[in-house]
Amino acid sequence: MAGSPNTRYALSRIGQALITILIVYVLVFVIVTLLPGDPVSGRLSNPEYGYSQSEIDEMLVYFKLDQPAWQQLSISLERLLHGDLGLSYASNIPVTTLLWSGVPSTLQLAGTAFVFAVILAAAIAVGAFFLPGRFGGGVLRAFPSLFLSLPNFLIGLVVINVFSFQLGWFVLSDFRSADALIYPAVTLAIPASALIAQVFISALDTARAEQYSTVAISKGISRVGLLTRHLLPNAALPTLTITAIIVGDLLGGSIITEAIFGRTGVGTVVEKAVSEQDVPVLQAAVVLAAALFLIINLVVDLVYPVMDPRLRGGRAVTSVQYTKQREA
């Protein structure tokens, strides 16, 4: 039904996501505009380009940079509402064309890293559940803290040194091969899996201490049966929450990892846009990342009532609210 509580909730969350994207777009414009100089005249005045002052002035008029900042923002917002992200100040190429040239590579890297992170986190959490502390369970519980302390760039440099320079298993210049995708994906997955594993282990421990688990154990249920029938369904929702947040971290980490491994993607476009103060490209890249992050969290919030019947019938809550309710 169109007027059902769940439908109204979904429409409300979609509206909040659109407003958030608009706010992010404006904030990026304000931050970049406050930087000294403008992104065109400073570059074109370089003698290497050979532009005269009249030509520079024509470029400023062309990109509307001769207008006050608030008018530039108004023009930019009007274009956004019509689906036009504008032209790159640096290359005069449509921003959409520039970004989409790197999106497939970045999504491929982030998606592969996400799969690796989930598999690694599940292996650590389930292994910690089954193995007693004296047989390695305690070591597995320490892995997430260790992984969290390792930044992406350090892991990437170690992977390159060991697997490329010493073992020669992949070539940095050939970023199109499958091997060249696996290694940067693993680099991203190791720290990303840490948060998922921490929350998963904590959720399993919490569910294990509940009364229903004690009753099931007293009836002679096996550890596998306890895990699959009782613990996993209750540990799934908080783990799903942190997994959705990790996706945003993977998108941001992909930019750094692409630079380390010499991959072309959105990271390459953003890095060049930052150095050239290319405002339209920066705005579009940030909005794209924010949109993907919000869409993923929106999907998770809408999945909650499906996975937990207690949240149906107009009692739908956001992922953050659900986590707080569990902690209380």
The predicted-structure confidence for 167-184, as pLDDT tens digits, reads as follows 767 666 555 666 678 888
The whole-chain average pLDDT of the chain stands at: 76
Rounded to an integer, the average pLDDT of 300-315 is 64
Query: Tell me, what amino acid is at 265?
Result: G
Which carries the bigger pLDDT value, residue 85 or residue 315?
Answer: 85
- Least confident stretch, 42-46, 156-160, 197-201: 42-46
Q: Which residues of 49-78 are buried (b: 16+ CB within 10 A; e: fewer)?
A: eebeeeebeebbeebebeeeeeebbeebee
Rounded to an integer, the average pLDDT of 60-79 is 76
Band (309; pLDDT cuts 50, 70, 90)? low
Query: Tell me, what amino acid is at 64?
Result: K
pLDDT tens figures, 231-251: 888 887 788 878 877 877 787
Distance, CA of 213 to CA of 234 (rounded, Å): 11
C-alpha radius of gyration, the chain, whole number: 24
pLDDT recorded at residue 3: 56
Locate 50 and state its tokens.
Answer: 């050979």
- In the chain, DSSP finds a helix count (H) and a strand count (E) of 14, 0
pTM reported for the whole predicted model: 0.72
Distance, CA of 191 to CA of 253 (rounded, Å): 10
pLDDT recorded at residue 75: 80
Domain residue ranges in the chain: 10-82, 95-307
Q: Quote the DSSP letter at residue 18.
A: H
Phi-psi region of 140 (alpha: psi -120 to 50; beta: other; left: phi over 0): alpha
One-character DSSP codes across 174-237: -TTSHHHHHHHHHHHHHHHHHHHHHHHHHHHHHHHTSHHHHHHHHTT--HHHHIIIIIHHHHHH
Band (217; pLDDT cuts 50, 70, 90)? confident
- Least confident stretch, 2-6, 28-32, 144-148: 2-6
Given the candidates 3.30.70.20, 1.25.40.20, 1.10.3720.10, 2.30.110.10, the CATH classification of the domain at 95-307 is 1.10.3720.10
Rounded to an integer, the average pLDDT of 89-107 is 82
Phi-psi region of 187 (alpha: psi -120 to 50; beta: other; left: phi over 0): alpha
pLDDT at 314 over 50: no
Give the percent of the chain with pLDDT over 90.
0
Cβ atoms 298, 16 nearer than 8 A: no
Q: How far is CA 150 from CA 190, 193, 194, in A?
A: 9, 12, 10
Residues 6+ apart with CB under 8 A from 108: 181
pLDDT at 122 over 50: yes
Rounded to an integer, the average pLDDT of 2-23 is 75
